[in-house]
Amino acid sequence: MKKYGYKGGIILGLMLFAIGAFLVYPAAGVRSYTFFLSAFFIIACGLAFLETAANPYITALGDPEQASFRLNFAQSFNGLAATLAPLIGGMFILSNNNLSAEAERNMSPSQLSHYLDGEASTVQLPYLVIGWWYYWWQ
């Protein structure tokens, strides 16, 4: 933060988050756990930069006597988002097709692969939208 400042840290965080979200698309295409994990690690790094840069920036803005109020108010949205994001995201990403172990055993390898490709592809569009959103905010 000393070298690039708060604004640079926020922009870097947004960029990393967007890159990670865009990487989910090819990760879903190849259905690679390592690729997914790498994409989500990049997203987490972006969030870490955002958090590290935004908190001191919030305290530096405005009246110094109100800094703790601004920081607490901004941080209150983290808890709200942590609660609502999985609920809302689950409506767009998760399907209601849960295979039992028996149904999975009864599928041929090509049927199972087709099913898993369909399940993995459900994350592609939402993460493209998320990546575009974060990229646009730079």
What does the pLDDT average to over 45-62? 88
Model confidence pLDDT, tens digit, residues 67-82: 889 888 888 888 888 8
Q: What is the pTM of this model?
A: 0.78
The whole-number pLDDT of residue 7 equals 86
Name the residue ranges covered by the structural domains of the chain: 5-136
Model confidence pLDDT, tens digit, residues 79-97: 888 899 888 888 877 777 7
The CATH code belonging to domain 5-136 is: 1.20.1250.20
The whole-number pLDDT of residue 39 equals 96
Whether residue 134 contacts residue 14, with contact meaning beta carbons closer than 8 Å, is answered with yes
The strand ranges marked E within 39-99 are none
d(CA 94, CA 125) in angstroms, rounded, equals 12
Q: Which long-range contacts (C-beta less than 8 Å, at least 24 apart) are formed by 95-98?
A: 95/119, 95/122
